[in-house]
A and B are shown apart, each in its own frame.
Chain A
Amino acid sequence: MSKIETRGLSLFYGNFQALIDVNVQIKEKMITALIGPSGCGKSTFLRTLNRMNDLIDGIRITGEVLIDGENIYGNRTDLVLLRKKVGMVFQRPNSFPLSVFDNVAYGPRIHGSKNKAELEDIVEESLRHVELWDILKDKLDHSALNLSLEQQQRLCIARLVAVTPEVVLMDEPCSALDPVATSKVEELMAELKKQYTILIVTHNMQQAARVSDRTGFMLLGKLLEYGETRQVFTNPKEKKTEEYITGRYG
Protein backbone atom coordinates (compact mmCIF):
# COMPACT_ATOMS: atom_id res chain seq x y z
CA MET A 1 0.00 0.00 0.00
CA SER A 2 1.22 3.46 -0.71
CA LYS A 3 2.02 5.74 2.20
CA ILE A 4 0.34 8.73 0.62
CA GLU A 5 -2.29 8.73 -2.04
CA THR A 6 -4.29 11.61 -3.46
CA ARG A 7 -7.52 11.14 -5.35
CA GLY A 8 -8.91 13.94 -7.48
CA LEU A 9 -7.27 16.55 -5.28
CA SER A 10 -8.15 20.11 -6.25
CA LEU A 11 -7.48 23.31 -4.36
CA PHE A 12 -8.95 26.77 -4.86
CA TYR A 13 -7.75 30.11 -3.58
CA GLY A 14 -11.00 32.02 -3.95
CA ASN A 15 -11.74 31.66 -7.67
CA PHE A 16 -8.24 30.61 -8.65
CA GLN A 17 -7.67 26.89 -8.95
CA ALA A 18 -4.14 26.16 -7.76
CA LEU A 19 -4.31 22.37 -7.92
CA ILE A 20 -6.24 20.55 -10.61
CA ASP A 21 -7.24 16.94 -10.09
CA VAL A 22 -3.97 15.63 -8.69
CA ASN A 23 -3.79 11.85 -8.45
CA VAL A 24 -0.63 10.33 -7.11
CA GLN A 25 0.60 7.38 -5.09
CA ILE A 26 3.71 7.81 -3.04
CA LYS A 27 5.60 4.85 -1.67
CA GLU A 28 7.04 4.46 1.76
CA LYS A 29 10.72 5.16 2.54
CA MET A 30 11.51 6.79 -0.72
CA ILE A 31 12.39 10.28 -1.75
CA THR A 32 9.88 11.81 -4.09
CA ALA A 33 10.82 15.07 -5.76
CA LEU A 34 8.37 17.58 -7.13
CA ILE A 35 9.67 19.87 -9.82
CA GLY A 36 8.10 22.53 -11.97
CA PRO A 37 8.22 26.24 -12.69
CA SER A 38 7.39 28.81 -9.99
CA GLY A 39 3.71 29.04 -9.21
CA CYS A 40 2.91 25.60 -10.59
CA GLY A 41 1.43 24.48 -7.29
CA LYS A 42 4.16 22.17 -6.01
CA SER A 43 4.50 23.91 -2.64
CA THR A 44 0.74 24.18 -2.38
CA PHE A 45 0.50 20.46 -3.03
CA LEU A 46 3.10 19.73 -0.38
CA ARG A 47 1.19 21.82 2.11
CA THR A 48 -2.05 19.93 1.51
CA LEU A 49 -0.35 16.83 2.89
CA ASN A 50 -0.05 18.21 6.43
CA ARG A 51 -2.93 20.66 6.03
CA MET A 52 -0.71 23.71 6.42
CA ASN A 53 -2.90 25.38 3.82
CA ASP A 54 -5.66 25.46 6.40
CA LEU A 55 -3.97 28.55 7.84
CA ILE A 56 -4.86 30.58 4.77
CA ASP A 57 -8.25 32.23 4.57
CA GLY A 58 -10.51 31.54 1.63
CA ILE A 59 -9.13 28.17 0.64
CA ARG A 60 -11.24 25.27 -0.58
CA ILE A 61 -10.10 21.73 -1.14
CA THR A 62 -11.91 18.91 -2.89
CA GLY A 63 -10.87 15.31 -3.39
CA GLU A 64 -9.08 13.04 -0.97
CA VAL A 65 -5.65 12.76 0.56
CA LEU A 66 -5.07 9.34 2.06
CA ILE A 67 -2.22 8.78 4.44
CA ASP A 68 -1.91 5.14 5.48
CA GLY A 69 -5.32 4.73 3.89
CA GLU A 70 -7.05 7.41 5.95
CA ASN A 71 -8.47 10.55 4.37
CA ILE A 72 -6.88 13.45 6.23
CA TYR A 73 -9.60 15.78 5.01
CA GLY A 74 -12.24 13.63 6.66
CA ASN A 75 -14.20 14.87 9.65
CA ARG A 76 -12.30 12.88 12.21
CA THR A 77 -8.80 14.11 11.46
CA ASP A 78 -6.87 15.36 14.46
CA LEU A 79 -4.60 18.09 13.08
CA VAL A 80 -2.16 17.67 15.93
CA LEU A 81 -1.72 13.95 15.29
CA LEU A 82 -1.56 14.49 11.54
CA ARG A 83 1.19 17.07 11.76
CA LYS A 84 3.11 14.96 14.25
CA LYS A 85 3.07 12.19 11.72
CA VAL A 86 3.69 14.40 8.68
CA GLY A 87 6.43 16.87 9.55
CA MET A 88 7.74 19.71 7.47
CA VAL A 89 11.05 21.41 6.75
CA PHE A 90 10.77 24.90 5.37
CA GLN A 91 12.53 26.96 2.75
CA ARG A 92 14.46 29.06 5.23
CA PRO A 93 15.63 27.46 8.45
CA ASN A 94 13.11 28.63 11.02
CA SER A 95 14.79 27.77 14.29
CA PHE A 96 13.20 29.40 17.31
CA PRO A 97 15.14 32.13 19.13
CA LEU A 98 15.98 29.60 21.84
CA SER A 99 18.99 27.49 22.69
CA VAL A 100 19.96 24.52 20.54
CA PHE A 101 18.68 22.17 23.24
CA ASP A 102 15.34 23.94 23.64
CA ASN A 103 14.82 23.97 19.89
CA VAL A 104 15.13 20.20 19.63
CA ALA A 105 13.28 19.60 22.89
CA TYR A 106 10.42 21.91 21.90
CA GLY A 107 8.24 19.26 20.27
CA PRO A 108 8.86 16.41 22.75
CA ARG A 109 8.25 18.77 25.67
CA ILE A 110 4.87 19.84 24.37
CA HIS A 111 3.99 16.29 23.46
CA GLY A 112 4.55 15.28 27.04
CA SER A 113 8.17 14.33 27.76
CA LYS A 114 8.80 16.22 30.97
CA ASN A 115 11.59 14.06 32.27
CA LYS A 116 14.96 15.79 31.92
CA ALA A 117 16.98 12.63 31.29
CA GLU A 118 14.47 11.50 28.70
CA LEU A 119 14.65 14.87 26.94
CA GLU A 120 18.43 14.77 26.97
CA ASP A 121 18.34 11.37 25.30
CA ILE A 122 15.91 12.57 22.65
CA VAL A 123 18.00 15.66 21.93
CA GLU A 124 21.22 13.70 21.65
CA GLU A 125 19.68 11.07 19.44
CA SER A 126 18.04 13.64 17.18
CA LEU A 127 21.21 15.69 16.83
CA ARG A 128 23.20 12.54 16.09
CA HIS A 129 20.69 11.70 13.42
CA VAL A 130 21.46 14.94 11.56
CA GLU A 131 25.20 14.71 12.37
CA LEU A 132 25.21 17.80 14.52
CA TRP A 133 25.89 16.16 17.86
CA ASP A 134 29.67 16.14 17.61
CA ILE A 135 29.72 19.79 16.58
CA LEU A 136 27.18 21.04 19.06
CA LYS A 137 27.36 18.79 22.10
CA ASP A 138 29.23 21.47 24.04
CA LYS A 139 27.10 24.30 22.72
CA LEU A 140 23.64 23.03 23.57
CA ASP A 141 22.87 26.17 25.54
CA HIS A 142 23.96 28.51 22.74
CA SER A 143 21.32 30.36 20.78
CA ALA A 144 20.31 28.44 17.67
CA LEU A 145 20.26 31.67 15.70
CA ASN A 146 24.05 31.94 15.93
CA LEU A 147 24.54 28.76 13.91
CA SER A 148 25.28 28.81 10.21
CA LEU A 149 22.26 28.49 7.91
CA GLU A 150 23.20 24.92 7.05
CA GLN A 151 23.50 23.96 10.71
CA GLN A 152 20.20 25.69 11.42
CA GLN A 153 18.51 23.74 8.65
CA ARG A 154 19.94 20.53 10.10
CA LEU A 155 18.75 21.64 13.50
CA CYS A 156 15.26 22.15 12.10
CA ILE A 157 15.39 18.61 10.74
CA ALA A 158 16.59 17.38 14.16
CA ARG A 159 13.71 19.24 15.79
CA LEU A 160 11.38 17.42 13.46
CA VAL A 161 13.02 14.02 13.96
CA ALA A 162 12.58 14.51 17.71
CA VAL A 163 8.80 14.18 17.39
CA THR A 164 9.24 10.95 15.36
CA PRO A 165 7.26 11.71 12.21
CA GLU A 166 6.71 9.13 9.47
CA VAL A 167 6.62 11.50 6.53
CA VAL A 168 8.95 14.47 6.06
CA LEU A 169 7.88 17.21 3.68
CA MET A 170 10.68 19.47 2.50
CA ASP A 171 9.80 22.73 0.83
CA GLU A 172 12.92 23.81 -1.06
CA PRO A 173 15.07 23.00 1.96
CA CYS A 174 18.33 24.04 0.29
CA SER A 175 17.31 27.27 -1.37
CA ALA A 176 18.98 29.35 1.34
CA LEU A 177 22.17 27.25 1.34
CA ASP A 178 25.39 27.36 -0.65
CA PRO A 179 26.41 24.38 -2.83
CA VAL A 180 28.60 22.73 -0.18
CA ALA A 181 25.91 22.99 2.47
CA THR A 182 23.38 21.78 -0.08
CA SER A 183 25.32 18.63 -0.80
CA LYS A 184 25.62 17.94 2.92
CA VAL A 185 21.87 18.26 3.39
CA GLU A 186 21.38 15.99 0.39
CA GLU A 187 23.58 13.36 2.00
CA LEU A 188 21.49 13.69 5.09
CA MET A 189 18.33 13.15 3.07
CA ALA A 190 19.70 9.93 1.63
CA GLU A 191 20.39 8.82 5.19
CA LEU A 192 16.93 9.83 6.43
CA LYS A 193 15.28 7.89 3.63
CA LYS A 194 15.95 4.67 5.52
CA GLN A 195 13.40 5.65 8.13
CA TYR A 196 11.15 8.25 6.61
CA THR A 197 9.05 8.85 3.56
CA ILE A 198 10.39 12.07 2.11
CA LEU A 199 8.80 14.52 -0.30
CA ILE A 200 10.91 17.35 -1.54
CA VAL A 201 9.90 20.37 -3.57
CA THR A 202 12.84 21.81 -5.43
CA HIS A 203 13.69 24.35 -8.06
CA ASN A 204 16.96 22.66 -8.62
CA MET A 205 16.58 19.91 -11.19
CA GLN A 206 20.02 18.47 -10.59
CA GLN A 207 19.03 18.09 -6.96
CA ALA A 208 15.88 16.23 -7.89
CA ALA A 209 17.89 14.01 -10.21
CA ARG A 210 20.55 13.39 -7.56
CA VAL A 211 18.49 12.59 -4.51
CA SER A 212 15.10 11.32 -5.50
CA ASP A 213 13.74 7.92 -6.39
CA ARG A 214 10.64 9.27 -8.00
CA THR A 215 9.91 12.59 -9.59
CA GLY A 216 6.70 14.42 -10.33
CA PHE A 217 6.56 17.28 -12.79
CA MET A 218 3.89 19.88 -12.13
CA LEU A 219 2.65 22.61 -14.43
CA LEU A 220 -0.16 25.10 -13.85
CA GLY A 221 -1.66 23.10 -11.02
CA LYS A 222 -1.55 19.73 -12.76
CA LEU A 223 0.72 16.82 -12.10
CA LEU A 224 1.76 16.24 -15.69
CA GLU A 225 4.16 13.41 -15.22
CA TYR A 226 5.12 11.13 -12.36
CA GLY A 227 7.48 8.21 -12.40
CA GLU A 228 10.93 6.81 -11.69
CA THR A 229 13.38 9.70 -11.52
CA ARG A 230 15.68 8.14 -14.07
CA GLN A 231 12.85 7.67 -16.51
CA VAL A 232 11.47 11.20 -16.01
CA PHE A 233 14.86 12.75 -16.61
CA THR A 234 16.12 10.56 -19.42
CA ASN A 235 12.98 9.56 -21.21
CA PRO A 236 10.04 11.78 -20.24
CA LYS A 237 6.69 10.79 -21.64
CA GLU A 238 5.34 14.30 -21.84
CA LYS A 239 6.72 16.88 -24.21
CA LYS A 240 6.28 19.64 -21.61
CA THR A 241 8.40 17.73 -19.13
CA GLU A 242 11.15 17.38 -21.65
CA GLU A 243 11.00 21.07 -22.45
CA TYR A 244 11.22 21.94 -18.78
CA ILE A 245 14.10 19.69 -17.85
CA THR A 246 16.06 20.72 -20.89
CA GLY A 247 15.63 24.30 -19.79
CA ARG A 248 13.36 25.64 -22.48
CA TYR A 249 11.15 27.37 -19.90
CA GLY A 250 10.82 27.62 -16.16
Chain B
Amino acid sequence: MKIRAKSHLKISTQTQQKIAFTFLGIASILVIVPVIVIFVILIQKGLPAINWQFLTAMPRMGMRAGGIFPAIMGTLYLVSGTIVVALPLGVLAAIYLVEYARQNFLTRMIEVAIVNLAGVPSVVYGLFGMGLFVIYLKLGVSIIAGALTLAIMILPVIITSSKEALQSVPRSFREASLALGVSKWQTICCVVLPNALPGILTGTILGISRAAGETAPILFTVAAFYLPRLPKSIFDQCMALPYHLYVLSTQVPNVNPKIQYGTALVLVGIVFLLNLVAIIVRSHIRSKKQW
Protein backbone atom coordinates (compact mmCIF):
# COMPACT_ATOMS: atom_id res chain seq x y z
CA MET B 1 0.00 0.00 0.00
CA LYS B 2 2.70 2.34 1.00
CA ILE B 3 4.64 1.89 -2.22
CA ARG B 4 1.56 2.44 -4.32
CA ALA B 5 0.80 5.63 -2.53
CA LYS B 6 4.31 6.84 -3.24
CA SER B 7 4.23 5.96 -6.93
CA HIS B 8 0.87 7.65 -7.22
CA LEU B 9 2.40 10.79 -5.72
CA LYS B 10 5.33 10.59 -8.11
CA ILE B 11 3.13 10.53 -11.19
CA SER B 12 1.22 13.52 -10.02
CA THR B 13 4.37 15.60 -9.40
CA GLN B 14 5.62 14.67 -12.83
CA THR B 15 2.34 15.76 -14.36
CA GLN B 16 2.53 18.97 -12.40
CA GLN B 17 5.99 19.52 -13.72
CA LYS B 18 4.90 18.89 -17.28
CA ILE B 19 2.04 21.35 -16.95
CA ALA B 20 4.37 23.95 -15.45
CA PHE B 21 6.96 23.47 -18.20
CA THR B 22 4.30 23.74 -20.86
CA PHE B 23 3.08 27.05 -19.51
CA LEU B 24 6.60 28.37 -19.08
CA GLY B 25 7.39 27.35 -22.65
CA ILE B 26 4.28 29.00 -24.03
CA ALA B 27 5.06 32.20 -22.12
CA SER B 28 8.60 32.29 -23.52
CA ILE B 29 7.42 31.69 -27.06
CA LEU B 30 4.77 34.39 -26.74
CA VAL B 31 7.58 36.81 -25.91
CA ILE B 32 9.45 36.00 -29.11
CA VAL B 33 6.44 35.98 -31.41
CA PRO B 34 5.77 39.74 -31.54
CA VAL B 35 9.44 40.49 -32.18
CA ILE B 36 9.59 38.04 -35.04
CA VAL B 37 6.28 39.23 -36.50
CA ILE B 38 7.37 42.87 -36.35
CA PHE B 39 10.66 42.10 -38.05
CA VAL B 40 9.07 39.91 -40.71
CA ILE B 41 6.40 42.46 -41.58
CA LEU B 42 8.87 45.35 -41.58
CA ILE B 43 11.33 43.54 -43.78
CA GLN B 44 8.66 42.19 -46.10
CA LYS B 45 6.96 45.51 -46.62
CA GLY B 46 9.80 47.95 -46.02
CA LEU B 47 12.75 46.33 -47.72
CA PRO B 48 11.50 47.02 -51.28
CA ALA B 49 11.50 50.74 -50.48
CA ILE B 50 15.07 50.78 -49.32
CA ASN B 51 17.69 51.70 -51.85
CA TRP B 52 20.56 54.16 -52.00
CA GLN B 53 18.31 56.98 -53.12
CA PHE B 54 15.83 56.38 -50.26
CA LEU B 55 18.64 56.68 -47.74
CA THR B 56 20.40 59.67 -49.25
CA ALA B 57 17.79 61.85 -50.98
CA MET B 58 15.58 64.64 -49.70
CA PRO B 59 11.87 63.95 -49.45
CA ARG B 60 9.85 65.25 -52.40
CA MET B 61 6.21 65.84 -53.31
CA GLY B 62 5.08 66.51 -49.75
CA MET B 63 7.07 63.52 -48.46
CA ARG B 64 5.21 61.12 -50.71
CA ALA B 65 8.34 60.42 -52.73
CA GLY B 66 12.08 60.78 -52.51
CA GLY B 67 14.17 59.79 -49.54
CA ILE B 68 14.42 60.23 -45.80
CA PHE B 69 17.98 61.54 -45.64
CA PRO B 70 17.24 64.59 -43.43
CA ALA B 71 15.36 62.42 -40.94
CA ILE B 72 18.25 59.94 -40.69
CA MET B 73 20.77 62.74 -40.27
CA GLY B 74 18.51 64.49 -37.78
CA THR B 75 18.33 61.35 -35.65
CA LEU B 76 22.11 60.96 -35.83
CA TYR B 77 22.61 64.60 -34.78
CA LEU B 78 20.23 64.14 -31.88
CA VAL B 79 21.88 60.93 -30.79
CA SER B 80 25.36 62.51 -30.89
CA GLY B 81 24.17 65.55 -28.98
CA THR B 82 22.54 63.32 -26.40
CA ILE B 83 25.76 61.33 -25.88
CA VAL B 84 27.84 64.49 -25.52
CA VAL B 85 25.56 65.75 -22.76
CA ALA B 86 24.40 62.59 -21.01
CA LEU B 87 27.59 60.49 -20.94
CA PRO B 88 29.87 62.85 -18.98
CA LEU B 89 27.05 64.02 -16.73
CA GLY B 90 25.88 60.49 -16.00
CA VAL B 91 29.34 59.05 -15.44
CA LEU B 92 30.42 61.92 -13.18
CA ALA B 93 27.22 61.59 -11.15
CA ALA B 94 27.76 57.83 -10.85
CA ILE B 95 31.38 58.34 -9.75
CA TYR B 96 30.25 60.78 -7.11
CA LEU B 97 27.52 58.46 -5.84
CA VAL B 98 29.70 55.34 -5.77
CA GLU B 99 33.09 56.70 -4.77
CA TYR B 100 32.55 59.86 -2.79
CA ALA B 101 29.03 60.22 -1.40
CA ARG B 102 28.47 58.96 2.10
CA GLN B 103 25.27 57.09 2.80
CA ASN B 104 23.02 59.77 4.18
CA PHE B 105 19.65 61.40 3.61
CA LEU B 106 20.87 63.42 0.63
CA THR B 107 22.31 60.47 -1.30
CA ARG B 108 19.21 58.41 -0.60
CA MET B 109 17.13 61.28 -1.99
CA ILE B 110 19.32 61.42 -5.10
CA GLU B 111 18.95 57.68 -5.61
CA VAL B 112 15.17 57.85 -5.21
CA ALA B 113 15.09 60.74 -7.66
CA ILE B 114 17.05 58.72 -10.23
CA VAL B 115 14.67 55.78 -9.93
CA ASN B 116 11.67 58.07 -10.30
CA LEU B 117 13.24 59.89 -13.23
CA ALA B 118 13.44 56.54 -15.00
CA GLY B 119 9.71 56.06 -14.54
CA VAL B 120 8.57 59.41 -15.91
CA PRO B 121 6.60 59.00 -19.18
CA SER B 122 8.50 60.28 -22.18
CA VAL B 123 5.83 62.79 -23.16
CA VAL B 124 6.35 64.49 -19.82
CA TYR B 125 10.03 64.88 -20.70
CA GLY B 126 8.88 66.46 -23.93
CA LEU B 127 6.73 69.01 -22.15
CA PHE B 128 9.47 69.63 -19.58
CA GLY B 129 12.00 70.17 -22.35
CA MET B 130 9.70 72.59 -24.12
CA GLY B 131 9.08 74.51 -20.93
CA LEU B 132 12.69 74.69 -19.77
CA PHE B 133 14.89 74.66 -22.85
CA VAL B 134 12.65 75.94 -25.64
CA ILE B 135 10.74 78.66 -23.82
CA TYR B 136 12.48 79.57 -20.56
CA LEU B 137 16.08 79.28 -21.75
CA LYS B 138 15.02 80.65 -25.15
CA LEU B 139 16.87 77.96 -27.09
CA GLY B 140 13.89 77.70 -29.38
CA VAL B 141 12.77 74.54 -31.12
CA SER B 142 16.27 73.31 -31.88
CA ILE B 143 18.64 70.37 -31.96
CA ILE B 144 20.23 71.51 -28.73
CA ALA B 145 16.87 71.67 -26.93
CA GLY B 146 15.95 68.22 -28.23
CA ALA B 147 19.32 66.69 -27.36
CA LEU B 148 19.17 68.15 -23.84
CA THR B 149 15.68 66.75 -23.36
CA LEU B 150 16.70 63.31 -24.58
CA ALA B 151 19.83 63.48 -22.43
CA ILE B 152 17.77 64.07 -19.30
CA MET B 153 15.51 61.21 -20.29
CA ILE B 154 18.35 58.70 -20.57
CA LEU B 155 20.40 59.98 -17.61
CA PRO B 156 18.86 57.46 -15.18
CA VAL B 157 19.83 54.58 -17.49
CA ILE B 158 23.40 55.83 -17.78
CA ILE B 159 23.77 56.62 -14.08
CA THR B 160 22.34 53.28 -12.98
CA SER B 161 24.45 51.21 -15.35
CA SER B 162 27.59 53.25 -14.60
CA LYS B 163 27.01 52.81 -10.88
CA GLU B 164 26.73 49.08 -11.31
CA ALA B 165 29.85 49.03 -13.46
CA LEU B 166 31.82 51.03 -10.88
CA GLN B 167 30.58 48.89 -8.01
CA SER B 168 31.62 45.73 -9.83
CA VAL B 169 35.27 46.81 -9.87
CA PRO B 170 36.79 44.79 -7.02
CA ARG B 171 37.55 46.71 -3.85
CA SER B 172 40.98 45.08 -3.82
CA PHE B 173 41.99 47.07 -6.93
CA ARG B 174 41.18 50.32 -5.18
CA GLU B 175 43.00 49.25 -2.03
CA ALA B 176 46.04 48.15 -4.00
CA SER B 177 46.23 51.50 -5.71
CA LEU B 178 45.59 53.59 -2.59
CA ALA B 179 48.17 51.58 -0.66
CA LEU B 180 50.78 52.63 -3.21
CA GLY B 181 50.26 56.24 -2.26
CA VAL B 182 48.03 56.99 -5.22
CA SER B 183 45.37 59.57 -4.53
CA LYS B 184 41.72 58.68 -4.65
CA TRP B 185 41.05 60.65 -7.80
CA GLN B 186 44.05 59.10 -9.58
CA THR B 187 42.88 55.69 -8.43
CA ILE B 188 39.48 56.34 -9.96
CA CYS B 189 41.03 57.54 -13.23
CA CYS B 190 43.73 54.88 -13.56
CA VAL B 191 42.15 51.78 -12.07
CA VAL B 192 38.43 52.06 -11.48
CA LEU B 193 37.27 53.79 -14.67
CA PRO B 194 39.23 51.64 -17.16
CA ASN B 195 37.80 48.51 -15.56
CA ALA B 196 34.28 49.91 -15.41
CA LEU B 197 34.33 51.26 -18.95
CA PRO B 198 32.67 48.30 -20.71
CA GLY B 199 29.70 48.38 -18.34
CA ILE B 200 29.42 52.13 -18.72
CA LEU B 201 29.53 51.86 -22.52
CA THR B 202 26.90 49.15 -22.59
CA GLY B 203 24.53 51.22 -20.48
CA THR B 204 25.20 54.29 -22.59
CA ILE B 205 24.48 52.51 -25.85
CA LEU B 206 21.25 51.08 -24.48
CA GLY B 207 20.22 54.55 -23.33
CA ILE B 208 21.14 56.00 -26.69
CA SER B 209 19.13 53.40 -28.56
CA ARG B 210 16.14 54.39 -26.48
CA ALA B 211 16.77 58.04 -27.25
CA ALA B 212 16.96 57.29 -30.96
CA GLY B 213 13.54 55.71 -30.98
CA GLU B 214 11.53 58.13 -28.83
CA THR B 215 9.03 60.49 -30.42
CA ALA B 216 7.40 62.31 -27.55
CA PRO B 217 10.47 64.11 -26.14
CA ILE B 218 11.41 65.53 -29.53
CA LEU B 219 7.86 66.38 -30.56
CA PHE B 220 7.85 69.82 -28.92
CA THR B 221 11.56 70.45 -28.68
CA VAL B 222 13.21 69.84 -32.02
CA ALA B 223 11.31 67.85 -34.60
CA ALA B 224 10.38 69.57 -37.85
CA PHE B 225 7.29 68.44 -39.71
CA TYR B 226 8.93 68.92 -43.08
CA LEU B 227 12.37 70.39 -43.62
CA PRO B 228 13.88 69.23 -46.87
CA ARG B 229 17.40 70.40 -46.03
CA LEU B 230 19.98 69.67 -43.39
CA PRO B 231 20.10 71.84 -40.25
CA LYS B 232 22.64 74.65 -40.36
CA SER B 233 23.52 74.74 -36.67
CA ILE B 234 22.56 73.20 -33.35
CA PHE B 235 20.03 76.01 -32.96
CA ASP B 236 18.20 74.83 -36.05
CA GLN B 237 15.27 72.46 -36.16
CA CYS B 238 15.70 69.10 -37.80
CA MET B 239 13.65 66.14 -38.90
CA ALA B 240 13.96 62.88 -36.98
CA LEU B 241 13.04 59.33 -37.89
CA PRO B 242 10.47 58.53 -35.19
CA TYR B 243 8.59 61.78 -35.74
CA HIS B 244 8.88 61.48 -39.51
CA LEU B 245 7.32 58.06 -39.25
CA TYR B 246 4.48 59.45 -37.17
CA VAL B 247 3.93 62.22 -39.72
CA LEU B 248 3.97 59.81 -42.65
CA SER B 249 1.52 57.49 -40.94
CA THR B 250 -1.02 59.99 -39.68
CA GLN B 251 -0.56 63.48 -41.10
CA VAL B 252 0.05 63.03 -44.83
CA PRO B 253 -2.70 61.50 -46.96
CA ASN B 254 -1.94 59.03 -49.73
CA VAL B 255 1.56 58.02 -48.78
CA ASN B 256 2.76 54.82 -50.33
CA PRO B 257 2.88 52.30 -47.42
CA LYS B 258 6.21 51.18 -48.83
CA ILE B 259 7.74 54.48 -47.69
CA GLN B 260 6.17 54.20 -44.24
CA TYR B 261 7.47 50.67 -43.72
CA GLY B 262 10.81 51.59 -45.19
CA THR B 263 11.16 54.43 -42.70
CA ALA B 264 10.16 52.14 -39.83
CA LEU B 265 12.69 49.56 -40.99
CA VAL B 266 15.51 52.12 -41.06
CA LEU B 267 14.61 53.31 -37.54
CA VAL B 268 14.42 49.78 -36.15
CA GLY B 269 17.64 48.97 -37.99
CA ILE B 270 19.51 51.84 -36.32
CA VAL B 271 18.23 50.92 -32.85
CA PHE B 272 19.02 47.26 -33.49
CA LEU B 273 22.54 48.10 -34.64
CA LEU B 274 23.15 50.15 -31.49
CA ASN B 275 21.95 47.27 -29.33
CA LEU B 276 24.11 44.86 -31.28
CA VAL B 277 27.16 47.05 -30.65
CA ALA B 278 26.33 46.99 -26.93
CA ILE B 279 26.09 43.21 -26.93
CA ILE B 280 29.33 42.80 -28.83
CA VAL B 281 31.21 45.21 -26.58
CA ARG B 282 29.90 43.43 -23.52
CA SER B 283 30.72 39.92 -24.63
CA HIS B 284 34.11 40.97 -25.95
CA ILE B 285 35.06 42.50 -22.61
CA ARG B 286 33.57 39.62 -20.67
CA SER B 287 35.76 37.18 -22.50
CA LYS B 288 38.81 39.28 -21.59
CA LYS B 289 37.79 39.82 -18.00
CA GLN B 290 39.81 37.68 -15.66
CA TRP B 291 38.77 38.39 -12.15
Tell me if chain B binds chain A: yes
CB-contacts of A37-70 with B (<8 A): 50, 52, 55, 57
Asked if A204 is an interface residue, CB under 8 A from chain B, the answer is no
Asked if A94 is an interface residue, CB under 8 A from chain B, the answer is yes
The answer to whether A80 touches B191 (Cβ under 8 A) is: no
Choose from A57, A79, A85, A94 the contact partner of B175 (Cβ within 8 Å). Answer: A94
The answer to whether A81 touches B181 (Cβ under 8 A) is: yes
Q: Report the minimal beta-carbon distance from A247 to chain B, rounded to whole angstroms.
A: 31
Asked if B182 is an interface residue, CB under 8 A from chain A, the answer is yes
Asked if A145 is an interface residue, CB under 8 A from chain B, the answer is yes
Given A96-B191, A97-B195, A110-B186, residue A84 in contact with residue B173 (CB < 8 A): no
Residue of B nearest to A103 (CB): B176
Asked if B233 is an interface residue, CB under 8 A from chain A, the answer is no
Given A57-B102, A90-B172, A94-B173, residue A84 in contact with residue B178 (CB < 8 A): no
The answer to whether A92 touches B172 (Cβ under 8 A) is: yes
The answer to whether B179 touches A106 (Cβ under 8 A) is: no
For B190, the chain A residues whose CB sits under 8 A away are 106, 110
Asked if B291 is an interface residue, CB under 8 A from chain A, the answer is yes
Given A97-B291, A143-B290, residue A106 in contact with residue B180 (CB < 8 A): yes
Most buried by A among B172, B178, B181, B291: B181
For B181, the chain A residues whose CB sits under 8 A away are 80-85, 87, 107, 111, 163
Asked if A88 is an interface residue, CB under 8 A from chain B, the answer is yes
Residue of A nearest to B184 (CB): A79
Choose from A55, A159, A160 the contact partner of B178 (Cβ within 8 Å). Answer: A55
Residue of B nearest to A163 (CB): B180
The answer to whether A88 touches B182 (Cβ under 8 A) is: no
Fill in one digit per residue for A130-155: 1 if any B CB lies within 8 Å of its CB, else 0: 00000000000001011000000000
Secondary structure of the A contact surface, majority rule: helix
Asked if A174 is an interface residue, CB under 8 A from chain B, the answer is no
Residue of A nearest to B180 (CB): A107
Complex Cα gap A182–B99 (Å): 35
The answer to whether B180 touches A145 (Cβ under 8 A) is: no
The answer to whether A87 touches B179 (Cβ under 8 A) is: yes
Asked if A156 is an interface residue, CB under 8 A from chain B, the answer is yes
Q: How many residues of A contact B (CB 8 A)?
A: 30
Asked if B103 is an interface residue, CB under 8 A from chain A, the answer is yes
The answer to whether A80 touches B182 (Cβ under 8 A) is: yes
Asked if B122 is an interface residue, CB under 8 A from chain A, the answer is no
Choose from A50, A81, A110 the contact partner of B179 (Cβ within 8 Å). Answer: A50
The answer to whether A52 touches B175 (Cβ under 8 A) is: yes
Asked if B183 is an interface residue, CB under 8 A from chain A, the answer is yes
For A52, the chain B residues whose CB sits under 8 A away are 175, 178-179
The answer to whether A110 touches B178 (Cβ under 8 A) is: no
The answer to whether A107 touches B102 (Cβ under 8 A) is: no
Residue of A nearest to B183 (CB): A80
For A55, the chain B residues whose CB sits under 8 A away are 174-175, 178
Asked if B177 is an interface residue, CB under 8 A from chain A, the answer is yes
Q: Report the minimal beta-carbon distance from A68 to chain B, rounded to whole angstroms.
A: 16
The answer to whether A110 touches B291 (Cβ under 8 A) is: no
Given A145-B290, A145-B291, residue A106 in contact with residue B103 (CB < 8 A): no
Complex Cα gap A160–B291 (Å): 21
Given A83-B180, A83-B181, A160-B180, residue A94 in contact with residue B172 (CB < 8 A): yes
Choose from A57, A81, A84, A97 the contact partner of B180 (Cβ within 8 Å). Answer: A84
Residue of A nearest to B102 (CB): A57
Report 29 cross-chain contacts, Cβ distance below 8 Å, ordered by A residue: A50-B179, A55-B174, A55-B175, A57-B102, A79-B183, A80-B182, A81-B181, A82-B181, A83-B180, A83-B181, A84-B180, A85-B181, A94-B173, A94-B176, A95-B176, A96-B177, A97-B290, A106-B177, A106-B190, A107-B182, A110-B180, A110-B186, A110-B190, A111-B182, A143-B290, A156-B176, A159-B180, A160-B179, A160-B180
Write the residues of chain B forming the contact surface with A, with a CB cutoff of 8 angstroms.
Answer: 102-103, 170, 172-183, 186, 190-191, 195, 289-291
Having A87-B179, A156-B176, one finds 13 other A-B pairs with CB under 8 Å, namely A57-B103, A80-B181, A81-B181, A83-B178, A84-B180, A94-B170, A97-B289, A106-B180, A106-B182, A111-B181, A159-B176, A160-B179, A163-B181
What are the 10 A-B residue pairs with the smallest beta carbon separation, nearest first? A84-B181, A94-B172, A88-B179, A83-B181, A107-B180, A94-B176, A145-B290, A80-B181, A110-B182, A80-B183
